[in-house]
Amino acid sequence: DAGVIQSPRHEVTEMGQEVTLRCKPISGHDYLFWYRQTMMRGLELLIYFNNNVPIDDSGMPEDRFSAKMPNASFSTLKIQPSEPRDSAVYFCASSIGGQPQHFGDGTRLSIL
């Protein structure tokens, strides 16, 4: 079975540019999560969706970050404008109901 698919795997861009990260959850999963991982702060939950509806976005660090889930098989996380401190690995995860989450392999983002 296909797992959570994220793209791109790596992104290098200059400060001020718009960055869009993409995620395809596991088919049939009704929850989707976006995380950011850094050495200093570990895994941080940014936002999660249930049935395509954002439920909790309290982890989104600033208004520069936005996330959408237009349908059950696709979500985006956008940063505009990007800053060097946004450099991190961004993970998408999905789950069914109250079950443990399954993660993608992440997008390694570097903002120069």
Give the binding-site size for other proteins (rule: CB under 8 A).
21
* Dist CA 43 CA 73 (whole Å): 23
Pick the binder of other proteins from 16, 55, 61, 112 (CB under 8 A).
55
| Paired residues of 60 in beta bridges | none
Least distance (Å) from other proteins to the CB of residue 16? 27
48 near other proteins, judged by CB under 8 A? yes
If binding is defined by CB under 8 A, does position 25 make contact with other proteins?
A: no
* Residue 34 lies near other proteins (rule: CB under 8 A): no
Asked if 65 and 76 count as a contact pair (C-beta separation under 8 A), the reply is no
CA-closest candidate to residue 69, choices 51, 56, 45, 95: 51
Instruction: Give the H or E element holding residue 70.
Output: strand 65-71
Binding site for other proteins (CB under 8 A): 4, 31, 42-43, 45, 48, 50, 55-56, 91, 93, 95, 98, 100-106, 108
